[in-house]
Structures are given as C-alpha cells and as structure tokens.
Structure 1
Amino acid sequence: MEVMQKLHMNGGSGETSYAKNSSVQSNIISAGKRITEEAILDMLSNHLSADSIGIGDLGCSSGPNTLLVISEILNVIYAKWCLQGCGSSPEFRVYLNDLTTNDFNNVFGSLPAFYTKLKEEKGSGFGPCFIVGMPGSFYGRLFPTKSMHFVHSSSSLHWLSQVPLGLDSKATTHNRGKIYISKTSPLCVLEAYLIQFQKDFSLFLKSRSEEIVPKGRMVLSFMGRRSPDPAADESCYQFELLARALMSMVSEGLVEEEKADSFNLPFYTPSPEEVDFEIQKEGSFILDRLETFEIDWINGNDGNSSVSEGVYPTSEALSRGHGHSKIIRAVVESMLEFHFGGHIMDDLFKRYGDIVDDHLSKTTPKYIVLVISLVKKG
C-alpha cells in the first residue's frame, strides 16, 4: 500500500469526518498536557532570548484538535514571557504537518478566526504568529537545519510509513483472515511489524535531530502497549473485531477472500521498552519522560476528567458500539476504500458496530497511550 497517498483521516465536516469523530484523540492530547507544558517551560529556560520560536505539530490532521494544540503551546510560551517581564514575545513560526492527502483546506479555513482570537486574548505584546502548512511524511526531513525549538505529535506515530515488507503484496497471505497483528498471526508477521517500526521510528528521530536546536524539546503521544506481547488485546483488539466484520462479508461472498487476506494495516503499537531502545540506539535525544495512560474506547476518558461531550452524536438510535465504529471509520476508511472499494464501507462499519456492541456488553476496553518527552542533545 502506498501509505503516503492513501492514508488520511476523513476530511470535511460530515457525519463520518474526522472533525466530528476525534474526541478520543482530543483526550489523548489532554493526557499529555502536563508533560507538554513542562517540556515547553524547560525549552524556554534554554532559549528565552530567542527572537523567533519554531514550533511544529506533526500529523496535525484537520478539525478542532489541530489548532487546539497550537493554541495551548502558544499560551504556555506567552504566559512564561509575561512572567519573566521580557517585553514583547518573539515571533512564532508554526508549522502544521501532515501527509499531502490531508484536508488542509479545512485547517486553513479556520485560521482567520484563530488569528482574531489570538489578537483579542493576547493583545499588542504578543509577537507575530506565522502559521503555514508543511505537507509531507515526517519519516524524513521537513524543516531547515536547527530551525525548530519545540515539536509536538499526537495520535500519529503509531502509523507506519508502509505496510511491513512481506505483507504488502497480494501474493502473500501470511496473516490470513486478519488485518493487523493478532493472537493467530505467525511469528514472521510480528517480526515484520517490529522491524518496520524500528526503521521508521529511527528515521523519525534522526530527521528531527537535524531540525531541532540543541536543548530543544519534543513531546510525542501515540498508541502503545504495556505488555511485551504485541498480540496482547490492549494493543490490537479493535482491529481484531474489524477483521471479524470483514471476514463475515467474505463468508457471504461480498468480499473476495484473496483481497481480504492481502490487506494489512500500516500500524504498530510499541511497548515502552521498544521505544526506549530505539531512542538510545539513535542517540540524538535524551529521554526525559515516558508515561503510559489508559483511554476508554467509548468516551475517550483518560480517567482524570469527566466524559467528553460530543464524542458521539446525540441520536438515541446510535449505540455505543456504532459510535466507536464511526471513530474508527474516520481514521481507517481511506485505506480500506482504496483496497476494497467504497461500496462496502457502510455495510462493513455497520457490522463492526454490531460486533463492538457485543464486545462492550462483556468488558470495558481501554487504549494504552505512550507519552514521551525528549531533549535534543547539545
């Protein structure tokens, strides 16, 4: 699968859009908020005299979460500047990065209101803020050398640059009946996913090391797992259930079995040990913090806040399982549609919602989120 061309969150603002179905991702951002604030303040302690601050949000997507992150980062920096009595704040260079298929039009359309709010809240002491889109893969260089002071990425690094080698061909069926790692996946599948993660994460770190100034900071939050077993339910069960929905269509002759067997998601949920190993091996960053959080499948709650509003539409006809189905659909539909065609999407996610409803009647599943804070050596 050509991930750079086919992976994108559902655009627009319709019922299946990412903009309307991204509250779980919002709670992932909230889970790492304290760590993000601490990292920004540490960065400023080393770069308080900078005339221009470079900020990057990698995997920004579109919808309400995009500028929420940037707003919170700017708030922390400006509050520190005011507290230090440093006069006018520096100028801010803000780069919003995602793949070229991202709905940047949606993001750019919200910028005028964002700038107006900044001006009203911060006043004349707030330095110029220049926000630009930076399309491209973060598995490679994006920014000029030593131009960035703070880089943030949330709910993005669990996506790989490609389907692991050996699983990316219609001629291979190593992972028959599945779309990701599962308890029945052979060892070669688990190894292929780990190797691809190691390659991608190492390249990500190397690329950022060339772009971030010495003692600059980076905070990354993404799906992971606590278990050393990559097939543990905490890391992959949502896709185990989606595979069941897909295979029910295969059994009814609605989807070709060969096509189903050749589809695998470019996704990986690493363990803390795997993340730490790659950071130490690449060698450009000091791992300052690594914490794990639990996020509910259903309401996106991180356990420290009330249930978020607007996670699902208020229609009584929409069950919890079908609400969850809409969240997953907003994220993976582009890849499924490319492989299978758009004609099966409504049926597939209806079946998935039914299966999730049954699963929720027996348990309360959680996502595991890793939040890591890194310091550029220098």
Structure 2
Amino acid sequence: MEVCQVLHMNGGRGEQSYAQNSSLQRKVISMTKPIAKEAMTNLYRNTFPASLAIADLGCSSGPNTLYAVSELVKAVDEVRRKLGLQSPEYQVLLNDLPGNDFNAIFKSLVGFHEDMRKQMGEGSGPCFFAGVPGSFYGRLFRRKSLNFVYSSCGVMWLSQVPEGLEDNKGSICMVGKSPPSVVKAYYRQFQMDFSLFLKCRSEELVAGGRMVLNIYSRKSEDPSSKEFSYMWDLLSVALNEMVVEGIIEEEKSDSFNIPVYTPSPLEVESIVEKEGSFTIDLLDVSQLNWNAYDDEVHQSEAFKDGGCNAAKILRAAAEPMLVSHFGESIIDEVFSRLGEIVNRKSEEKTEIVIVTVSMTRKG
C-alpha cells in the first residue's frame, strides 16, 4: 500500500464524508484550543511581526480545517487590538497528502472571509491561503519561512506500513495480541517518522517559531494497549468475520495493515528531546470518548447511536485504504458489522487519549 496515494479522508460533503463525520476531531481541536491560543499569543507578543505565516499540517477538509485557523487568527487579533497595533497580514498554508479534497476547502473560503470580517471587523489584516499537497515527512516550505505550525490528529499516521508485520495475522494494527516483533516494527517506524517530521519543521520555522501538535496517544507505556487501537481492533473483528464466511480471502485480510501508531506522552517527549531542535513549553494529556458527538457538525439524528456514529467516524478515515486493498464491494458490509460490534461491546470504555505538545524552535 502506497500511503501517500491512499491515505486521505473521504472528501465531499456526503453522508460518508469526513466533513460530516469529524465531530471527534473537532472536539480535540476545541478541547486543546487554549494551548494553541497561548502559544500563538506568546509568539505574537514576543515578536510583533508585520506578517505571520501559519501552516496547518494534515489539514484534511471540512469545517475543522478553517475552524483551527480562525482560532489562531482571532488569538492574534485579540492581542493587537488591546495593544492598539496594526493587524499583521496572514499567510495560511494548508497541507495534506495529494488525495485530500482541497477543492472543498477553497470553495469555503468566501464564507470564511465573510465570517472573519463579521467577528473581527474591517481592521483585521488579510488572510492569504494556499494549498500545499505533500507528505509532512519531508520538506514542504522554504527554509525559515514559517512562524507557526499546527497539526491536529495527523502525526499518528505513519509514512508507510512498517516492514516485518508478517506475523500480525488476524489484526490490522498493533494490538495486545500482536507479537513483540510487530510492536517493535511499529515503534521503530514512528521514531524514524516523528524525528524526520521535527527535523523538517525545524528547518522551515524561524528561530523562536512555535509548533503545537495534537497526537492520538495512550496513557500506558505498553505500545499494544487498546486505548486508541480499540476501534481498529474491532474493525479487525469485522474483517475476520467476513473471512470466516468466505466473503474476504484470508490471505488478503492478513496482508492488510494500518499505518498508525499512538505514542505515549513519554515517547513523544523523549523523541523531541533526542532530535534536539525544539524546546517543549507544555505537554498536556486529555481524553474523550470515541462516541463523541458534536452538535456543531450537522449530522442526521439517526447517526447519534453509538456504534453507527463510531463506525462512520472510522469509515471517513479508513475507507480509501480499504477500497484500495479490498475493492469497493465490501465496504458497506464492513462498517455495518463494525457498528453492530461496537454496540455489542457498549459496556466497554472507548476513551481516546490525546497528547498536546507545544514547542518553540530553538534559536
């Protein structure tokens, strides 16, 4: 599986789109907003730049993309008004892999500008937008061209499926029953990817530039704990049921693995310190439920039931990878079964852990 080609959220605004099924990710942005706001406020107060270049990495599409950006811009505008300063101009650089639905973002920019004018008035500096397709596990921007980097729920995705997963039969990711070789392979890939991510951002940020990352995480130091892998593990159950019934070939199922790793807070901290380009200003851990539902995202009342809602959230992210590997014909059946499985296990806790790390580029 070529991750760069098949890893993207479902586009458009249809029933299965990420735009309609990203309530959980919106809650993450909302919950951690004070940390991003503080980092942006401190950056502005320390430098008072005439222009600010902000990059959102793994921006996806839908309401969350411009929601995150708007909160960062409003944080600056609040400070500059209190101090009686002229507004900076904003360059907003939206990054995701080439399969991302950038057109949906661009179509929503007129409404974004109108909303920002209403909220901040005519005195606020202009926002210039650009889409930047490409993997954030490589250079994306000119050297020392960014002031602020933001990424929410993106860095858990790896640059590739780790090598050496042949023994991970019956599972599509790293879970409790995965052999030690599989656990080591996933962690090794995350170490390499996250270190490269930090190195690339350090080259693109100005000295003193800030970066805030929200990363799906786990409390346990056991990499195979089921905190975030819980839903992926249940997806494995659905696929395994279909193997038993002869709907999916066993070999086809065994060769499918998800390129995702959820680090512990300690792992995030140790890799940042080892790479050496950033100072950690704050590392915070929060949690929410897989079945999080946000009324700000207009979903049908029918999809508030826990299993269906959780299945739709996962489908918005996983469908392109599954289609690439299995074809389209099984997709509806897979996620229908997943919803039923989640409902059967409704008594189990399905909490997601988020580690938020706020960093400053060393001078």
Is the CA contact (8 Å cut-off) linking 1:40 and 1:77 kept in structure 2?
A: yes
4+ runs deviating over 6 angstroms: none
| Aligned counterparts of 2:326 and 2:25: Cα–Cα separation in 1 | 26
Deviation at 1:182, TM superposition (A): 1.3
1:162-177 to structure 2, matched below 5 A, reads: 162-167=160-165, 173-177=166-170
Deviation at 1:89, TM superposition (A): 0.8
Is the CA contact (8 Å cut-off) linking 1:18 and 1:63 kept in structure 2?
A: yes
**Paired residue secondary structure (1:342):** coil
Is the CA contact (8 Å cut-off) linking 1:9 and 1:330 kept in structure 2?
A: yes
Deviation at 1:311, TM superposition (A): 7.2
Q: Which runs of 5+ in 2 are unaligned?
A: none
| Aligned counterparts of 2:42 and 2:28: Cα–Cα separation in 1 | 22
Is the CA contact (8 Å cut-off) linking 1:312 and 1:323 kept in structure 2?
A: no
The question of 1:270 aligning with 2:263 is answered yes
Q: Which runs of 5+ in 1 are unaligned?
A: 168-172, 301-306
Question: What amino acid maps onto 1:25 in structure 2?
Answer: Q
Question: What amino acid maps onto 1:60 in structure 2?
Answer: C
Is the CA contact (8 Å cut-off) linking 1:57 and 1:153 kept in structure 2?
A: yes
Post-superposition Cα deviations, 1:5-37, rounded to whole Å, max 9, x if no partner, equal: 000100011110000000000000012111111
**Paired residue secondary structure (2:231):** helix
**Paired residue secondary structure (2:345):** helix
Paired position in structure 1 for 2:57:
58
Name which of 105, 123, 126 aligns with 2:124. 126
The question of 1:18 aligning with 2:4 is answered no
Please, what TM-score do these two structures have when normalized by structure 2? 0.97
State the aligned residue count: 363
CA RMSD of aligned residues (A): 1.3
Is the CA contact (8 Å cut-off) linking 1:96 and 1:132 kept in structure 2?
A: yes
Paired position in structure 2 for 1:303:
none
Post-superposition Cα deviations, 1:41-89, rounded to whole Å, max 9, x if no partner, equal: 11112211x2211101111100010100111111001111111111x21
Paired position in structure 1 for 2:31:
31
- Higher mean alpha-carbon deviation, 253-262 vs 124-133, is at 124-133
| Aligned counterparts of 2:152 and 2:298: Cα–Cα separation in 1 | 18
Paired position in structure 1 for 2:41:
41
- Higher mean alpha-carbon deviation, 232-241 vs 258-267, is at 232-241
Report % sequence identity: 48
Question: What amino acid maps onto 2:15 in structure 1?
Answer: E
Paired position in structure 2 for 1:159:
157
Question: What amino acid maps onto 2:143 in structure 1?
Answer: T
Name which of 344, 360, 363 aligns with 1:375. 360
The question of 1:139 aligning with 2:124 is answered no
The question of 1:319 aligning with 2:312 is answered no
Paired position in structure 2 for 1:304:
none
The question of 1:2 aligning with 2:19 is answered no
| Aligned counterparts of 1:352 and 1:312: Cα–Cα separation in 2 | 19
Post-superposition Cα deviations, 1:121-152, rounded to whole Å, max 9, x if no partner, equal: 33332122101111111111111111111111
**Paired residue secondary structure (1:266):** coil
Name which of 88, 91, 96 aligns with 1:90. 88
